[in-house]
Amino acid sequence: MRWSAEARLAELGIVLPGVSSPQAAYTNCVQVGSLLFVAGKGPSDPHTAGKLGREHTTADGTALARGVGLEVLAVVREFLGSLDRITRVVRVQAFVNATEDYAEHHLVLDGLSTLFVDVFGDAGVHTRSVLGAVSLRGGLPIITECLFEITG
């Protein structure tokens, strides 16, 4: 039996948030063949602005990254019609707005990575990179972009 991401969301009691709109002249998703590129997404709550290592702890950042992962899944579901069309999470890249001496960027992104594995099982294991940034749009603490392999 094929893994169902939609069934897994229900099992986990996860309700995806509303779909956020792009913040400039771009689109949330672009499909090229069997690849789906998802534009950079950050937390939609404006009260989350701030830097890791100053306004946010690593634990805060991990929770924020999980929330960003939920926002990514919401835009993907809207674009594809169902998360069951995802055959593989290929790559995640994140930028973490952090103080100069902050060194736990990788732990922040674990919030998103763990969510993807919880939802997609082995197909949720992905490559990733996470970079520190001196600033991000709107003072967001994290922005991530994702690449998925899809069917149909």
- The predicted-structure confidence for 97-128, as pLDDT tens digits, reads as follows 999 999 999 999 999 999 999 999 999 999 99
pTM (2 decimals)? 0.95
Identify the domain containing residue 136 by its residue range.
5-14+28-150
Number of domains in the chain: 1
Please identify every stretch of the chain with a pLDDT value under 50, giving residue numbers as ranges. Answer: none
23 inside domain = no
Give Cα separations from 49 to 54, 90, 128, 139 (angstroms): 11, 28, 23, 5
Residue 89's beta-bridge partner residues?
148
Any idea what the CATH number is for the domain that residue 142 is in? 3.30.1330.40
**Rounded to whole angstroms, how far apart are CA atoms 19 and 88?**
21
- The pLDDT value recorded for residue 1 is 54
121 inside domain = yes
Q: Comparing C-alpha atoms, which of 114, 107, 94 is closest to residue 57?
A: 107
19 inside domain = no
Percentage of the chain modeled with pLDDT above 90: 91
45 inside domain = yes
22 inside domain = no
49 inside domain = yes
